Amino acid sequence: MIALSTQAETVAKKRYYLKDVSGDPQETADSLIKRVSEAIASIEIEYGKSKVDIQLTERDFSKMLSRLDFVPNSPTLMNAGTEQGTLSACFVLPLKDSMEDIMKTAHDVAMVQKFGGGTGFALSELRPKGDKIKTTHGVACGPIQVLQTLSRVSSMITQGGKRDGANMAVMDIQHPDILEFIDCKSVEGDIHNFNISVAVNSRFMKAVEAGLDYPLINPKDNSIAGYLNAQEVFNKIVYGAWRNGEPGMIFMDNVNYDNHVIEEYGEMIATNPCGEQPLLPNESCNLGSINLANFIDTEGVPKIKWEELGDTVKLATKFLDNVVDANKYATPEIEKMTKATRKIGLGVMGFADLLVQLRIPYNSEEGTRVGSKIMKFIREVSDKTSLKLAEERGTFPAWDKSDYGENEKYRNACRLTVAPTGTISMFADTSSGIEPLFSLAYRKMNILEGQTLFYVNKYFEKDAKEHGFYSEDLMEHLSNGGLLSNRPEVPQWIKEVYITSPEISPESHVGMQAAFQEYCDSGISKTINFSNEASIEDVYSAYIGAWKLGCKGITVYRAGSREKEVLVNAHKTESHDVNDSLDGQLAFNIETNDEQKCCNDAIIVMESGCKSCKTCGWSACHIA
């Protein structure tokens, strides 16, 4: 039987359990696991497996999920075995320059998001604003108005009745409307259900360093539409990111280095909403994450259980390959493209919790080495498993049109992705993705049960009690945004091991992302968190550093730069990009102080239900 924490049970009731017409849960954790395991194992009959073999596979899947060693993405947990929708989280849809194509894309957005998928688009092929339209003798509205239209379509969709739609819009740096795109989210709340990222290549980045001008290209006829100074445009991007976290950047050279079917399908030009999954037009990918925190042997000197981790990588790779066949696809085009490449996205969560068990600071050289070693190991095991699956089931159909060699006959065109794991990490009661710990203690109001829950990191609580420095005063201090660094009763090694995201330098954040990226054939979802005091120069250095270290993209967030923030801890904020409203909208209130501690002088209630006091700084946020 699976034993869920209070937090995990709340998430499961809100998000994953099947419900009756009144909205009451009709499942338990065990029946949820049984439903998913049966559905994903059942497709093995397509590969000639006997009934006994299928039952054994179902048992293995069930054990893995029940131990929370691996958790698939939210759409799989929500929809597997229900006959009602996609099991994939990530989609990229084509967006061509005609009214018919734009409306087809809008339709496909609705179909994908109806059951839980997040969508990405490239605006780069749309003619610029004001361009003449030969057929109507009118002028083009431009990519930003198309983006606003797609945003309105997405706003109509509540995914499976459980979460709002989320999207990524990407524009090439050479598009004539690039300056308007960079600023299109400068006003908070505009195009709220889209992340935006600028697509650049190494030529542009080198032009930035040299202070050179670069050409703008009209996609209608590839004519030169003008020139801009690369340094000035880059500064504008950096300022936007400093201002409110938008836009991010995608380094397309690095992205397409791992695109092995360029000759057949062309380059990847967009990603899913959080940027970790670059995809071809009409391609989708299903994700799942291994809970690294579960693979520590705590007997004696803590160490990683490599054999058990390897076994889980093998089984999880097979699970995700099965999902490709068990999936229900929103459109025929998506099914055709997805089955041609059979991409899967095996990733990790619980990395920060693994490090604290190993007594390794996240921002240390050793921490980065551990991250690199783990991802290299997972890559090697998953690649071997995909090769073995190809021997049994055949390579992905587009393999013979790829640039893979004879010794690279994979079942899946790519195998690894590190997603942010917003909700599934709460379900597994572990830290999210490869992010550091954000806070060691905070309050949450369980809106289902009508009670306030006081959450303390389970590893920190255990250490605090064992080493004699646990106190309610310390927990109160931490839940109000306080740090360990100014608590004299806390041992120095504890302060180093339990370092939290706001205390970690941007260089360490980027370095950790790069360490995982080296062995990840898709992308990494990681937010580079800054304190509110961070300068524009700090953001500039992070963006340049991410490019030079070989990252595929970068997103930054400066605490307090938005009024509406997902998770607030007193005056420090964890930034979650849209995917955490996508795969991580919390099912409870987040409270940073008791209401009694507010002076009640200037309470502002925002549209989201978040409240803040402009006089004393008290804040509380409800994310539904």
Pick the catalytic residue from 44, 246, 276, 503.
276
> Is the distance from CB of 591 to CB of 443 less than 8 angstroms?
yes
CA distances in angstroms from 307 to 27, 70, 84, 313, listed in the order given? 33, 15, 37, 10
Q: Is 272 a catalytic residue?
A: yes
Residue 323 has phi, psi (to 5 degrees) of -60, -35
Q: Rounded mean pLDDT of 425-432?
A: 94
Domain membership flag for residue 222? yes
On the question of pLDDT at 595 being above 70, the answer is no
Q: What is the DSSP letter of 437?
A: P
Buried b (16+ CB within 10 A) or exposed e, 113-129: bbbbbbbbbbbbbbbbe
Average model confidence (pLDDT) across the chain: 88
Q: Per-residue pLDDT tens for 48-85? A: 999 999 999 999 999 999 999 999 999 999 999 998 88
Q: Which one, of 535, 532, 515, lies nearest residue 364 by Cα?
A: 515
What whole-number distance in Å separates Cα of residue 283 and Cα of residue 358? 39
On the question of pLDDT at 589 being above 70, the answer is no
> Is the distance from CB of 364 to CB of 504 less than 8 angstroms?
no
Domain membership flag for residue 182? yes
> Is the distance from CB of 358 to CB of 296 less than 8 angstroms?
yes
Among 279-293, 507-521, 603-617, which is the least confidently predicted range? 603-617
The domain that contains 125 carries what CATH number?
Answer: 3.20.70.20
Domain that holds residue 265: 90-271
Q: Where are the alpha helices (DSSP H) in 267-421?
A: 306-326, 332-341, 351-358, 365-393
> Is the distance from CB of 539 to CB of 241 less than 8 angstroms?
yes
Q: Is 565 a catalytic residue?
A: no
Q: Rounded mean pLDDT of 552-568?
A: 78
The structure tokens listed for 591 are 């409270």
On the question of pLDDT at 27 being above 80, the answer is yes
The structure tokens listed for 104 are 């087809």
- Cα dihedral 382, 387, 391, 396 in deg (nearest 10): 100
∠ Cα 510 90 234 (to 5°): 40
Q: Rounded mean pLDDT of 162-170?
A: 79
Among 82-91, 277-286, 408-417, 458-467, which is the least confidently predicted range? 82-91
Domain membership flag for residue 381? no
What's the pLDDT score for residue 454?
A: 62
Handedness of CA 263, 265, 266, 271 (dihedral sign): negative
Domain membership flag for residue 195? yes
Q: Rounded mean pLDDT of 343-347?
A: 98
What's the pLDDT score for residue 450?
A: 54
Domain membership flag for residue 447? no
On the question of pLDDT at 443 being above 50, the answer is yes
Q: Identify the helix (H) or strand (E) that includes residue 105.
A: helix 99-113
| pLDDT tier at 323, thresholds 50, 70, 90 | very high
Radius of gyration of the chain (CA): 24
Domain membership flag for residue 244? yes
> Is the distance from CB of 345 to CB of 416 less than 8 angstroms?
yes
What's the pLDDT score for residue 341?
A: 98
User: What is the number of structural domains in the chain?
Assistant: 1
Pick the catalytic residue from 272, 282, 412, 529.
272
What whole-number distance in Å separates Cα of residue 392 and Cα of residue 395? 9
Q: Rounded mean pLDDT of 599-612?
A: 42
Q: Which one, of 108, 540, 522, 79, lies nearest residue 274 by Cα?
A: 522
On the question of pLDDT at 449 being above 60, the answer is no
Domain membership flag for residue 330? no
Collect all residues with Cβ–Cβ distance below 8 Å to 314 and sequence separation of at least 6: 381, 382, 385
In 3-state terms, the chain is what percent helix, strand and coil (to 5)? 40, 20, 40
On the question of pLDDT at 574 being above 90, the answer is no
Pick the catalytic residue from 167, 246, 259, 274.
274
On the question of pLDDT at 164 being above 80, the answer is no
Q: What is the DSSP letter of 524?
A: B
Domain membership flag for residue 257? yes
On the question of pLDDT at 603 being above 60, the answer is no
On the question of pLDDT at 162 being above 70, the answer is no
